[in-house]
Structure 1
Amino acid sequence: MSMFENKESGFISAIDLKRTPAKTLYFIIMIFAFLLILICCLPPLWVLLSSLKDTKEFFSVPATLFPKSFHPEKLVNVWKEIKFTKYFINSIIVVAGSVGCALVFNSLIAYAVSVLKPKGSQLIYSLILISMMIPATISIMTFFKSVVDLKMMNSFVPLWFLPGANAFFVILYKQYFDTIPRSYIEAAKMDGCSKFGIYTSIIMPMSKAVNAVIIIFSLNTAWSDFLIPYLILRNDEKRTVVVKLFNMSTFPHDYIIVAMCFTIIPPIILFLIFQKSILSGIGAGGIKG
């Protein structure tokens, strides 16, 4: 019981764990959680390990999880042969622009609705809520038509603007801004701070938690998105890594697995580096939002 002595919060507390039924339930939940983690982690783990196998071992039957011999040089050879650098750079450009637009535009809309509250702000917020009920298919069709009419095909700009008009992000920001004490804003007004100055010097610096959540969602969506980049980026020089992966049907299967490895490694590395900030941001955003 020593491992549970300091457990005073949560679905099952330390007091509950002193009872046999609660302890049994706890271990059942942990077993299911472990199995779920195993199911989620096994496919990407298999991809990462298979990318290090040579061609003969990759096609061997029965398949093995761990390589008998490691061939890291295969990663370099496939990267050079596919010329993956340009697709990787394209994805970074798309992600950077998408995250920037998601942070700036959605927070500005939420700032207007939550703090400035001009005439008609409640109507605007109601329309934003209603927009979440519009089917994604209709939104994609109208968005694609607008891109064609504006002659913005083969441009990264539409991919940047799309997350900048996300109803979910606006609602998340608005709910968080509502929790910021208005005394800070009033004090800034008395000091002569402009409305935009309040946004840049008070609202956004106090919203690091929700900013972290927005960055996580927009980054992951922009990196893994396939349909919109596939429709807009027709030129091979502008394609992202996910779109290039889809167009690799003529390559050997082991090459495709290596390319899949290239697509899943960056998000994993980012999570491992910033996992503390990510988890604290999600927790704080969920509590205050």
Structure 2
Amino acid sequence: MVKSRKWDIPFYLFMCLISLTMVFPFLWMLSTSLKYDTQVFTVPIEWIPDPVNLSNYAKVWTEEPFLQYYMNTIKVAVFATAGQVLISAMAAYAFVAIPFKGSRFLFGLYLATMMVPWHTIMIPQYQIISAMGLTDTHIALIFGQLASAFGIFLLRQFFLTIPRELMEAARIDGAGEFRTFWAIVLPQAKPALSTLIIFTFVQVWNDYTAPLIYLNSREKYTIQLGLSFFQTEHTMQYTVIMAGTVCALIPILLIYLIFEKQITNGMVHSGLKG
């Protein structure tokens, strides 16, 4: 028993060190957001600024229409997340519960798209959006997030763990495919759905490239583009940018703290059966 635990202390010390390296950028960001510009690059690092400068947070909300950027990002993230989860759930249900010829091959093609970087399809996607007349609109950003091979894969793997007897019993009782999907399958898949909601929301919230490509009007910018206005050709307002980044991270941190258990359950159960 003693031999099996002799590596526990070194292991936990190593994991604590790894954790500190992960937390370090966030601590530096929070500390910098409370400093004056002259304090940013002092050596050694002054973790607790003296004096504390709270005016950086005031500048974030007053120098730029940060609230407008915030609301734009919330709108895009909410609608894109809802659309992706719904479409991914319906596609995953079709792969699991509705047998059709070529389903395995089609699912393999979906998985293959996960290996293709988004930058390789960036230009064709822009051409499609432009042909539809949706450039400089939030709809372009939402449409670009509706299809997700990862979402289909994640939910399909979870749906496979749901007993088929439940679906068959619903069909015997006269339920159609949509009612079976909505009333039987979705309530059983809350962990996987919560996981996909969080992953999608975080991805859309932090997206910088797509808004930069599709949006031209400043009043339609998202929060990531809004932060870039605190940087000019010759100056960089590090303290104000860090304050804005802290404000931008608050929704993501809250969502993670609330749904942490669902993330773990969703990832564990989605890999039980393939």
Give the TM-score taking structure 2 as reference length. Answer: 0.89
- 15, 33, 52: which is aligned to 1:33? 15
Q: Which residue of 2 aligns with 1:231?
A: 213
> Which of 37-46 and 129-138 deviates more?
129-138
Ranges in structure 2 where 5+ consecutive residues have no aligned partner: none
Distance 1:270 1:145, change over 3 A: same
The answer to whether the Cα contact below 8 Å between 1:50 and 1:66 also exists between their aligned partners in 2 is: no
Task: Answer yes or no: is 1:267 the counterpart of 2:249.
Answer: no
Task: Answer yes or no: is 1:220 the counterpart of 2:205.
Answer: no
- 88, 98, 107: which is aligned to 2:89? 107
Q: Which residue of 2 aligns with 1:148?
A: 130
- Counterparts of 2:6 and 2:260 in 1: how far apart (Å)? 31
Deviation of the 1:31 alpha carbon? 1.4
Give the TM-score taking structure 1 as reference length. Answer: 0.85
Q: Which amino acid aligns with 1:19?
A: V
- Counterparts of 1:146 and 1:79 in 2: how far apart (Å)? 35
Q: Which residue of 2 aligns with 1:254?
A: 239
Q: Which amino acid aligns with 1:97?
A: F
Distance 1:58 1:123, change over 3 A: closer
Q: Which amino acid aligns with 1:272?
A: L
- 174, 178, 202: which is aligned to 1:196? 178
The answer to whether the Cα contact below 8 Å between 1:98 and 1:161 also exists between their aligned partners in 2 is: yes
Distance 1:133 1:57, change over 3 A: closer
- Counterparts of 2:266 and 2:104 in 1: how far apart (Å)? 28
Deviation of the 1:93 alpha carbon? 0.9
Q: Percent identity?
A: 29
SS at match of 1:204: helix
Root mean square deviation of aligned Cα: 2.1
- Counterparts of 1:285 and 1:69 in 2: how far apart (Å)? 50
Q: Which residue of 2 aligns with 1:284?
A: 269
Q: What does 1:75-114 correspond to in 2, within 5 Å?
A: 75-114=57-96
> Which of 247-256 and 147-156 deviates more?
247-256
> Which of 262-271 and 89-98 deviates more?
262-271
Q: Which residue of 2 aligns with 1:19?
A: 2
- Counterparts of 2:239 and 2:55 in 1: how far apart (Å)? 14
Q: What does 1:32-71 correspond to in 2, within 5 Å?
A: 32-58=14-40, 60=42, 62-71=44-53
Ranges in structure 1 where 5+ consecutive residues have no aligned partner: 1-17
Aligned length: 271
Q: Which amino acid aligns with 1:51?
A: S
The answer to whether the Cα contact below 8 Å between 1:44 and 1:264 also exists between their aligned partners in 2 is: no
The answer to whether the Cα contact below 8 Å between 2:158 and 2:269 also exists between their aligned partners in 1 is: no
Q: Which amino acid aligns with 1:234?
A: N
Deviation of the 1:106 alpha carbon? 0.9
- Counterparts of 1:277 and 1:68 in 2: how far apart (Å)? 40
Deviation of the 1:97 alpha carbon? 1.3
Larger RCO of the pair (alpha carbons < 8 Å, separation 6+): 2
Task: Answer yes or no: is 1:207 the counterpart of 2:192.
Answer: no
Task: Answer yes or no: is 1:168 the counterpart of 2:163.
Answer: no
Deviation of the 1:26 alpha carbon? 2.0
Distance 1:282 1:126, change over 3 A: closer
- Counterparts of 2:262 and 2:114 in 1: how far apart (Å)? 28
SS at match of 2:210: helix
- Counterparts of 1:225 and 1:24 in 2: how far apart (Å)? 45
